[in-house]
Amino acid sequence: MIKLPEPVEDVVYNLLRLANTKLPEDIGWAMEAASGWEQNEIAYTQLGAIMDNVKKAEHIGIPMCQDTGIPVFYVKGKFDSSIGKAIAKAVERATKEIPLRPNTVDPITRENCGMNLGPGMPIIHYIPTDDDFTQITVLPKGAGSENMTRLGMLNPADGVEGIKKFIIDSVLDAGGRPCPPTIVGVGIGGTSDVCVAMAKEALMVPIDEENPDPVLRKLEEDLFVALNNSGLGPMGLGGSTTSLGVRIKKCACHTASLPVAVNIGCWATRRASAKITADGVEYAQGVKF
């Protein structure tokens, strides 16, 4: 790992505070735009309440949602084995000081593990590269949206229309449970595990960034229109603002397979990233395709 200008623990602590107390600008802009076109009175009121909450959370410096989720980390670049321990220390510190709700429990006994740690926690995905930097990204994920994750092993003959139907059905079947308006992350292709991973990774990409793949870009646009024409609306109470954006990633797959995964992000789709170089630390709230 490169020589860091500040301790990893401090960087990760800052990421957790940033992600939980400040809505990414691209999502905030989309919410403001939606308020401008939303004609349903209840939906308009819901959007206004969300934005008031967001502004107060940032001003006071407290989490914008009571479910501060489980922090999922992505570490890319050059790093050594000590980085995992530093991240765990930052999670414990952030849970105490920000504070974050201690959400992690034993899956069998349901006993709280404390400090958002426990077996296998925090979740860290390592992506070693030869780059001259270390990039750490956190994606805190609450249960309301995470529980709506869907994987479909479609028949290749289902084609694009089958893909669209699966995604739309997954979002509409979720109803108000993931706290719409949502960001819809989609993975297409790969194997089942890769497909589900891509769907979550897609949520890290800002919704105002153009997908470099023209086919996926068109699919994102079609799905965005279809979802917002569904009438589900904010919190599932009706309106024309069901989704703030759709992000899709793809991977080649077996000729006899067509995996499609959906991972929904609630209106509070939280993300923060730090790019660490020898010159300093640069913070952002989105990762490019």
pLDDT band at residue 1 using 50, 70 and 90 as cut-offs = very low
- pLDDT (average), residues 72-95: 95
Report d(CA 117, CA 277) in Å as an integer: 28
Report d(CA 24, CA 235) in Å as an integer: 20
**DSSP secondary structure letter of residue 178:** T
User: What's the pTM?
Assistant: 0.95
CATH number, domain 144-265 = 3.30.1330
CA distances to 16, 69, 116, 208 from 138, rounded to whole Å, are: 7, 11, 14, 19
CATH class of the 8-22+64-142+270-284 domain in this structure: alpha beta
Every domain of the chain and the residues it spans: 8-22+64-142+270-284, 144-265
Q: Per residue in 222-274, pLDDT tens?
A: 999 999 999 999 999 999 999 999 999 999 999 999 999 999 999 999 999 99
Q: Which two tokens stand for residue 282?
A: 């640069």
Q: Per residue in 266-285, pLDDT tens?
A: 999 999 999 999 889 999 99
* Amino acid 149: pLDDT: 99
* Amino acid 3: pLDDT: 56
Q: Per residue in 98-137, pLDDT tens?
A: 999 999 999 999 999 999 999 999 999 999 999 999 999 9
